[in-house]
Amino acid sequence: MTIDQMRRELQRRLKKERFAHSIGVANTAVKLAKRFGVDETKAYIAGLLHDCAREFENDELPAQAQARGINIGEVERAMPLLLHAYISAQMIKEIYGVDDAEIAQAIYRHTVGARDMTPLDKIIYFADMIEPNRNYPGVDKLRALTETADLNEILLTAFTDTIAFVLKRNLPIHPDTVAARNFLLLTK
C-alpha cells in the first residue's frame, strides 16, 4: 500500500478529529526526524498510523488485544485505552501492509514509552504530545524544546510531565513509563 493509500484508508476508518490528529503527528514526526537525523519516511508512516486502532471504542480494545494474543497487564486492565498502541502496532501489517519492525515498535511504545527507546520511538512519543491540534497547559513549553534541547532532554521532560499529569488524576503509572524515565536519568 502506498502512503497515499494508507492515508485514505485511515481517513475512512477514523473519526475526523482522530484523523486530523494522526496527520498532525505524522507531520510533526517528520520535522523532528529532520532535526535529529531519523528516516523521515518511517517517521511519517509511524506518526500517521500510530493511532490506527482508535477506530475501536475503549470497551472493544481488550477483546481486540486478546484476539491478537496481546498480553493485558493490570495497568491496561485499569486503563484499556493504553491497549490501542499495542493493537495499532499489529494492525499496521494486517490492514496497511507495513512490515517494518522499527515502525511497529515506535507505534507500540508511543503511549507509555520503554526503557531503551530508539530515536524513532522517541520522536513518535513526543510528536503525539505536541502535534498542532494538541492544546493543554504546558504544550507550548514542550514545543519550544524541539528548537533547543537534544532528544533525550526532550523525552525526559515529556516523561516527567506525563507522570505528573497521571499523578494529578490519581491514576496508575505504567511501569514502562517509570522505566523509560529512569533509564534516561541513569544514562545521562
User: How confident is the model at residue 129, as a pLDDT?
Assistant: 97
C-alpha cell at 162: 506525563
pTM given for the model: 0.96
Half-sphere exposure of 81 (CA within 13 A, CB side): 7
Residue pLDDT, tens place only, 57-76: 999 999 999 999 999 999 99
- Residue ranges in the chain modelled with pLDDT below 70: none
pLDDT more than 70, % of the chain = 100
